[in-house]
Chains A and B, each alone.
Chain A
Amino acid sequence: MTTAPPRPPRTDARAERLPEIPGPGETVVLLWRRLRRMSTALYLLLALAAVSIVATFVPQEPVIPTTVADWRAGTEGPGAEVAAGLDALGLFDIYGSWWFATLVVLLFVSLTGCLIPRVRGFVRQARRAPAPGQNLGRLTHHRTVDSPLPPDQAVAAAATTLRRRRLRTRVRPAEGSPTGNAQVAAERGHAREGGSIAFHLSFYLLAAGAMVGVWFGFESQVNVVEGESFADTPVGYDSYEPGRFFGQGDHDGFTVELDEFAAEYHPGQDTGDGPQSSLIASEFASRISVHEGDEVAAQGTVAVNEPFHHGATSIYQIRFGFAPELTVRTEGGTELHADTTNLIESDDLVWTGVAAVERTDVDNQIALDLALLPDATVEGGRLTSASNEPDDPLLAVSVWYGSLGLERNRPAAEFDREAGTRLDESLLLEPGETGSLDALPLEVTFEGLPYWSGFQVAQEPGHGLLLAGAGLLLVGLVPSLFAYRRRVWVDAAPAAHGGSHVTLAGVARQRAETFAEAWPDLADALTTAVDGRDEPADQTTDDARPGSHDPTGETR
């Protein structure tokens, strides 16, 4: 992004006229001109920064929905009233809002407007041969030398030296040169503008990659218990977000079985580790098999930082938890329920969940409220868990009955606690243990404690574009900051005895002081070259005048 070319100067006659209301065409032209300005781009960038600062401190619904819910309820954050205001402004989903999209589009329009003339100018300049110079004696860095070589040879020798120093050169004979002398013009540093253009072009690649990913991919999450499986279909996932152009047929359609889940824990690790204490496992990994039809197509391990790729689909290990397996029978031996229940860590080291046992009879439903202590110990007369490592699991079961609303299409954990009744007695079970209730003719068996494993499954096209964009961004950025434009001329006028009178001159466009340091060395090398001998000539008149103004506006 840079300044647009100058607008044509306004004529006085126009200024005297009454202001006209611009027509639609003129408005578009005016807007386009304004968007092409560098300062507009800057303001847009600042707006983008400001918006994302807000989005950092206001929780974003797509990122952490639970916190947003807490803000809305007023249990966290600035209070329910403020949250309602934030909601009205759409600040809980800034990145999904239309005005954020508008801002991004405007930035891209501005970028395009800035880039078109720059690319044109760059192509023109890169094609053009280095331009000849005039009045070289007025440049900040110049030196005059006498050479025994005739002008053409002196210039050719200088050109070789310049090319060896990786400058682009153009030799002009006396007839084609504005000074009337043979001259070589040399320059380097086009990588600066080229790099800058590449840097800015990379944003198109990044945007394209991001859009391809969002439109043609899908993202989903699923929790699976050991020994069970999920299918790669829209209904196979717990949460499922397909891209706009992602159809059902685009699924690979395999089935993934969780063969085994393993977690290792830090010995003696203390648990006060904040909100993610379920992650105090030092390592955890899932062994999975991918089934296609009746065949096992692939087997492998998924762990954090070690995703599993199959076909176009990737599987990531995200989280895990405990899934106690319970059997509930009536006294007569009829099995009411035999299943696992996924528990989540609702409090530090306490894992809770609800097993729906009986839901067919709407008025007479039964649910088990479960709380698991993975490593149960008695501390100060109270039951607690010493760690998350399931060394000594203990499951507390309390029974709810009545019209619990379990038939609703909701997670069992959200059953209606107001309408139901909780039995006073509860069971404490170790794995393998069976407990029976006095008040209800039920037996509950804690069969075992498998893990559940939480995966993210996604198809993410567009990564190639994103990588290319990121690469181009870095590759362009470095020269755009650190390549410097330099121009050098060697002009040879014929002198007596077939020799020549040579003027060396150079200017720097950026980092002038490093060029000033390098100039004596370059000038010496050129002097040696035009001298046609090996050792440097000593009849030079070094004439660099520090601080002198050169005709280009370049200084020192």
Chain B
Amino acid sequence: MLDLPLGDLSNALFNAAFITYLVAMVLAFARLAFTRVGVGGAPLTTRGAGLWAGRGATALAIVGAAVHLGSIVTRGLAAGHVPWSNMYEYSSFLAFGTVVVGLVVVQRRLGYGHLMGFVLALAILSMTSALLLFTEPTPLVPSLQSWWINVHTSAAMGASTIFIIGFMATALYLVKRTAERRVGISGTGAAPTKPAGADTAPAEPGAGEPTLREDGEGFDDFVTDSDDPHDAATDPLAQRDALSPVTFPGLPFLLVSLYAFWVWGSPVVALLAGSVAALLGISVWYAVPKLPPSDKLDQLAYRMTAFAFPIWTFAVIAGALWAQEAWGRYWGWDPKETGSFFTWVLYAGYLHARSTRGWRGTRAAWLGVAAFIALAVTYYAVNLFVVGLHSYAGV
């Protein structure tokens, strides 16, 4: 069943996709750099070099995704089963999905093409983790030989992909919102004029205007202030000055290099990983004035999360059904089950928090960040550091 030349081809395509994404990311950030912010709420404009950089980034991202798809397909052919049976394959697929969702939703549907640099950075991070966890294609162990692997694992993967984009939007929202607050732009989420919770009395019919007041429920979109808060932004560049150019690269550098040193014990690796994190941090800082207004980012984060949440729910349910068949119990508090459960609870908390008074805005967003960290812990830490029934899927 194991076809090693095909496996080699898959690896070569993976490397090609990796390099293509890297170049695409550099171009996407170049586009961001050439994007001008209009004063007083005028739209962003990209001209000349930036326009070409943007086109190049898009073309390369598409080419990279196509090559990546080739890598995934050949990997599946080489192994003789679905290409998501271990962490290398899963991480690779996550990166692919992230790029595709980024291209389709972030760039094409919402027109935030200048954010593609961040999307590609996340995809490249996922691919790097795939490289670190590389294994040759292997046949499936008996417990994985089930039709359920198509359902359960692909649902978990699909949901994770969308959660990644959601996380990107949440993180950018938190930065943007902080900057806006510091330059004195009033919040839309933090202090809504009309709470959407059930605290308005149910309307009586025929009472004129109040007939439109409904008792709402959880998960509402924001009810925003009517007067455009962004008129208040006289100079968007002031938002950048409101954030510290030291903290943004400094903190990621410190955290990531310490973590890398703890894991690999090599100062060179730690320095390298820290520098990458610092670069990402400073690019977020640089991009602040060019980011969409915080309420748009929050909306993007919410949409992505709300879309992925039912898929994740389905993945957990399918996992329980599979566990019943394979292990004779649907739920056994195995570390992976527990992990997927607390991830689910935290995302549910995020969705609820967005319609709870006193939680909307940054507080809910932090919960979204926590949920994403939980997702990453469930995926990486539980597989790598904890012994459980999912351990075979380990490295």
Binding site for B on A (CB under 8 A): 1-6, 38-39, 41-42, 45-46, 48-50, 52-53, 55-57, 59-60, 62-64, 67, 95, 117-118, 121, 124-125, 128-129, 131-135, 178, 192-193, 196, 210, 219, 266, 269, 273-276, 279-284, 303-307, 314, 316, 318, 456, 458, 460, 463, 466, 470, 473-474, 477-478, 480-482, 485, 487, 507, 509-512, 547-556
Q: Which of B307, B324, B338, B377 contacts A55 (CB 8 A)?
A: B338
Q: Chain A residues near B215 (CB, 8 Å)?
A: 121, 125
Q: Chain B residues near A134 (CB, 8 Å)?
A: 208-209, 211
Contact across chains for B352 and A41 when beta carbons are under 8 A apart: yes
14 A–B pairs (Cβ distance < 8 Å), ordered by A? A2-B218, A45-B349, A56-B378, A132-B211, A135-B209, A192-B219, A196-B218, A276-B392, A279-B142, A279-B143, A305-B146, A456-B328, A466-B330, A509-B220
Contact across chains for A38 and B328 when beta carbons are under 8 A apart: no
Chain A: CB-nearest residue to B145: A305
Contact across chains for A42 and B392 when beta carbons are under 8 A apart: no
Contact across chains for B328 and A39 when beta carbons are under 8 A apart: no
Contact across chains for A196 and B334 when beta carbons are under 8 A apart: no
Contact across chains for B223 and A132 when beta carbons are under 8 A apart: no
Closest Cβ–Cβ distance, residue B235 to chain A (whole Å): 23
Cα distance A216–B355 in the bound complex, in angstroms? 40
Q: Chain A residues near B358 (CB, 8 Å)?
A: 39
Q: Chain A residues near B198 (CB, 8 Å)?
A: 2-5, 117-118, 121
Chain B: CB-nearest residue to A284: B142
Q: Chain A residues near B142 (CB, 8 Å)?
A: 279, 281-284, 303-305
B216 at interface (Cβ–Cβ under 8 A)?
A: yes
Contact across chains for A3 and B197 when beta carbons are under 8 A apart: yes
Contact across chains for A473 and B313 when beta carbons are under 8 A apart: yes
Chain B: CB-nearest residue to A117: B198
B137 at interface (Cβ–Cβ under 8 A)?
A: no
Contact across chains for B328 and A48 when beta carbons are under 8 A apart: no
Q: Which of A42, A60, A511 contacts B333 (CB 8 A)?
A: A60
Q: Which 7 A-B pairs have the closest CB atoms?
A: A316-B328, A552-B212, A3-B197, A553-B194, A456-B328, A134-B208, A131-B205
Q: Chain A residues near B357 (CB, 8 Å)?
A: 3, 38-39
Type the 1/0 row for B283-317, where 1 means its CB is closer than 8 Å to any CB of A. 00000000000000000000000110110011001
Chain A: CB-nearest residue to B148: A305
Chain B: CB-nearest residue to A124: B202
Contact across chains for B325 and A307 when beta carbons are under 8 A apart: yes
Cα distance A8–B335 in the bound complex, in angstroms? 45
**Do A133 and B313 form a contact, CB below 8 Å, given A55-B338, A274-B391, A284-B142?**
no
Cα distance A252–B193 in the bound complex, in angstroms? 64
* Extra A-B contacts (16), CB below 8 Å, given A3-B199, A42-B356, A481-B219: A39-B356, A57-B386, A118-B217, A124-B202, A125-B215, A134-B209, A219-B328, A275-B391, A279-B392, A305-B142, A314-B328, A316-B326, A463-B324, A473-B317, A481-B307, A552-B209
B213 at interface (Cβ–Cβ under 8 A)?
A: yes
Q: Chain B residues near A466 (CB, 8 Å)?
A: 330
Interface stretch of the complex, out of B11-19, B39-47, B88-96, B339-347: B339-347
B243 at interface (Cβ–Cβ under 8 A)?
A: no
Residue from A5, A48, A318, A555 with most neighbouring chain B CB atoms (10 Å): A555
**Do A551 and B212 form a contact, CB below 8 Å, given A64-B387, A128-B205?**
yes
B214 at interface (Cβ–Cβ under 8 A)?
A: yes
Q: Chain A residues near B228 (CB, 8 Å)?
A: 547
Cα distance A196–B348 in the bound complex, in angstroms? 12
Contact across chains for B218 and A1 when beta carbons are under 8 A apart: yes
Q: Which of A49, A131, A132 contacts B342 (CB 8 A)?
A: A49
Q: Chain B residues near A554 (CB, 8 Å)?
A: 212, 223
Cα distance A511–B303 in the bound complex, in angstroms? 10
Contact across chains for A510 and B220 when beta carbons are under 8 A apart: yes
Contact across chains for A477 and B313 when beta carbons are under 8 A apart: yes
Q: Chain A residues near B141 (CB, 8 Å)?
A: 276, 279-280
Contact across chains for A49 and B330 when beta carbons are under 8 A apart: no
Q: Chain A residues near B329 (CB, 8 Å)?
A: 219, 456, 458, 460
Cα distance A5–B195 in the bound complex, in angstroms? 13
Contact across chains for A470 and B317 when beta carbons are under 8 A apart: yes
Chain B: CB-nearest residue to A134: B208
Type the 1/0 row for B141-165, where 1 means its CB is closer than 8 Å to any CB of A. 1110110100000000000000000
Contact across chains for B226 and A275 when beta carbons are under 8 A apart: no
Chain B: CB-nearest residue to A550: B212
Cα distance A124–B218 in the bound complex, in angstroms? 18
Q: Chain A residues near B217 (CB, 8 Å)?
A: 2, 118, 192-193, 196, 480
**Do A477 and B328 form a contact, CB below 8 Å, given A303-B142, A547-B228?**
no
B224 at interface (Cβ–Cβ under 8 A)?
A: yes
**Do A178 and B208 form a contact, CB below 8 Å, given A6-B199, A56-B339?**
yes
Cα distance A481–B203 in the bound complex, in angstroms? 23
Q: Which chain B residues (110-159) contact chain A, with CB distance < 8 Å?
A: 139, 141-143, 145-146, 148
Contact across chains for A133 and B211 when beta carbons are under 8 A apart: yes
Contact across chains for B205 and A132 when beta carbons are under 8 A apart: yes
Cα distance A282–B346 in the bound complex, in angstroms? 38
Closest Cβ–Cβ distance, residue A548 to chain B (whole Å): 8
B382 at interface (Cβ–Cβ under 8 A)?
A: yes
